[in-house]
Amino acid sequence: MLYKRQTAGFTASCNKPLNLLTFRIQSVLFDIIIQNGIVVDGSGNHWFKADLAVKDGRIAAISRSFTSKADKLIDAEGLIVTPGFIDIHSHSDLCLIFDGDAQSKVRQGVTTEVVGNCGMSAAPLSKEQKAEIKRGASFLLPPGLEVDLAWSRVSEYLKTLERRGVSVNVALLSGHSNLRVWCMGYSDAKPTRSQMQEMKDLLKQAIKEGAFGFSTGLVYPPSGYASIEELVELAKVASKQGSIHTSHIRNEGAAVLDAVKEIIEVSRASGVSAQISHIKSQPPEFWGHVPGILGLIEGARRAGLDITCDIYPYTAGSTYLSAVVAPLWAMEGGVKRLVERLKDSKLKARIKKESLERRYYRREDCDRIFIASSTRFKEYEGRSIGELARSVGEDPIDFMLNLLEEETSIHVVLDFMDENEVKYALKHPLTMVGSDGYALNAEGPLSVGKPHPRSYGTFPRILRRYVREEELIRLEEAVRKMTSYPAQRLGLRDRGKIAVGFWADLAVFNFTHIEDKATYTNPHQYPSGIEYVLVNGVPVVEEGEHTRAKPGRALRHS
């Protein structure tokens, strides 16, 4: 395989590069020239050897060599040069306000974060939702952290990002839960005609202000209270505006295929382009559904529906504890009402009974559920629910419900997926890569707890484990899944590929030494092998270190 020879610096077969755009440019002073690199341009085509020139934030020229000069030269001899990675599924909405350096993402080679997934976004944001976020009822920030939520509209959030400065580009999806809370609070009721129109108007405004579409989180309240008719009405708005619908589907276990069919039907009835988030089948009782999920998507595409999906390269997911153990009705009205219900012995017994009947997990699966972060129970971080429950002589479901009575902001990691299904999905041409993580920092307030390692390792893990070591997919195909494919999904016409005129979002890495170091027990570790990262033509990583530059932009749908 070709990549075996990458350790030798690609000297043997670089004499006749394919798809090489050669320019004879003289007397031009470029900002940056990246010399001697092995270019994987994001299209899926084979690599080629070339120099890249950057001017005014964009790729100005691609050539075998330049006679022109530049303010800065980067020698990429023996290194791979790719478009910067686009994280199609991120929850960094508020982390980027808290700390715009985006350390754990840019050090992976990520240059664009797509936020607002799973029905929850930083905007539009009502007063009621701001209060709920401050209570810790949000997965947009690690537990115990706060930011000044000094905006309401999408346009205000994007301007706040720009004013504070960020090291990555940011594309926002408007959360369906945000729309619902803005128009009808945390009620589980069916929207009235006027409330439905208000949600549609709010979504239309959000897209006009820059949102790339809307997301649903149908396992989370209040998004999960919506009927398919409500989803279709909102999807019609997104479709008319040329934007997308992304969805954390309603079920990932026994009814996962029905949940996928629901999103397909929303697209069929509305015409909207759809993205099914982090496809999986879980827990172990329901392994084996991933080929069927992808088969349904393939069938929908053959029928003319524009549906795609994403995946992360781990067998564990992560969410907040209440989403695991509390049925949707128990969350109606917000986290304060959940705590009140848990203090009622009859309601608590009903919650316990229905928690298991939902078949999201079984008692024996509780050894696969780990406390990731908690403000009140720091000593529990990194330990499994099963182990903790046994240590105090409690039933694991009772143990989880008792924890929720004390703290509703606990995050957990769930090792519920099958590695063979992860590989099957990753290899499939319809999947792209998203971390489902956060822009964190190995030092300071964003280094709390033991969060899922995907926030630090997703993209290097793909390249290290599934390309270099296991040879599951070609390097060029892996890069396509992380660059041009998500750019196409978002409608970013000048990002995601190495081509003249495109923005110079670039990653330069050592394929031989790239490695994800973050683990479940020690997640706050940056990867190795990422040597340079440019965002809009400005280096944010040089020789493996963050430069603290913040050239990122708040991208806007157009």
The domain spans of the chain are 85-317+416-493, 320-414
Q: Is 131 helix (H, G, I), strand (E, B) or coil?
A: helix
Would you state the pLDDT for residue 134?
Answer: 85
What is the full DSSP assignment across 263-275? Answer: HHHHHHHH--EEE
**Confidence at residue 22, expressed as pLDDT on a 0 to 100 scale:** 40
* Angle at the Cα of 510 from the Cα atoms of 441 and 451, rounded to 5 degrees: 25
The values of phi and psi at residue 126, to 5°, are -85, 165
532 neighbors 507 (Cβ within 8 angstroms): yes
Give me the count of residues in the chain. 558
Answer yes or no: is pLDDT of 9 > 70. Answer: no
pLDDT of residue 1: 36
Report strand pairing: 58-63 vs 545-546. Answer: unpaired
pLDDT in tens, 468-514: 999 999 999 999 999 999 999 999 999 999 999 999 999 999 999 99
Share of the chain above pLDDT 70, in %: 95
Backbone angles phi and psi of 422, in degrees to 5: -60, -45
For the segment 149-191, what is each residue's pLDDT rounded down to a tens digit?
999 999 999 999 999 999 999 999 999 999 999 999 999 999 9
pLDDT of 17 reads 39
Is omega for the bond preceding 222 within 30 degrees of 0, making it cis?
Answer: yes
* Crossing angle for the helix pair 176-184 and 193-208, to the nearest 10 degrees: 130
For 13-26, what is the mean pLDDT? 40
Check: CB of residue 307 under 8 Å from CB of residue 300: yes
Q: Is pLDDT of 2 > 80?
A: no
Q: What is the pLDDT of residue 137?
A: 64
pLDDT of 67 over the 90 cut: no
Q: What is the CATH number of domain 85-317+416-493?
A: 3.20.20.140
pLDDT for 27 equals 57
Element (H or E) spanning 432, and its range?
strand 431-433
**Amino acid identity for residue 17 in this structure:** P
Per-residue pLDDT tens digits for 78-128:
999 999 999 999 999 999 999 999 999 999 999 999 999 999 999 999 999
Cα–Cα–Cα angle for 552, 452, 397, rounded to 5 degrees: 140
Q: At what angle do helices 396-406 and 335-342 cross, to 10 degrees?
A: 130
Residue 377 has pLDDT above 50, yes or no: yes
Note the pLDDT tens digit of each residue in 221-268: 999 999 999 999 999 999 999 999 999 999 999 999 999 999 999 999
Nearest to 554 by CA among 176, 108, 242, 153: 153
pLDDT value of residue 4: 37
Report how far apart, in Å, the C-alpha atoms of 80 and of each of 23, 61, 84, 262, 464 are. 21, 18, 12, 41, 13
| pLDDT band per the 50, 70, 90 thresholds, residue 437 | very high
Instruction: Please give the pLDDT value at position 68.
Output: 86
Strands (E) in 116-271, as ranges, are 169-172, 174-175, 213-217, 244-248
Q: Tell me, what's the pLDDT at 208?
A: 98
What is the separation of C-alpha 356 from the centre of its chain, rounded to a whole number of angstroms? 28
Q: Pairing relation of β-strands 80-83 and 29-39?
A: parallel
* Spatial separation of the C-alpha atoms in residues 136 and 134, rounded to whole Å: 5
Look at residue 24 and tell me whether its pLDDT is greater than 50.
no
Say what the pLDDT of residue 288 is: 97
Q: What is the CA radius of gyration of the chain?
A: 23
Q: Mean pLDDT throughout 526-544?
A: 98
Show the 3-state SS of 55-95: ECCEEEEEECCCCCEEEEEEECCCCEEEECEEECCECCCCH
User: Count H helices, E strands: the chain?
Assistant: 18, 21
Q: What is the pLDDT of residue 555?
A: 98
- pLDDT at position 153 is 98
* pTM as predicted: 0.94
Task: State the number of CA atoms in the 13 A half-sphere of 558 facing the CB.
Answer: 6
- Amino acid present at 285: E
Mean residue pLDDT across the chain: 93
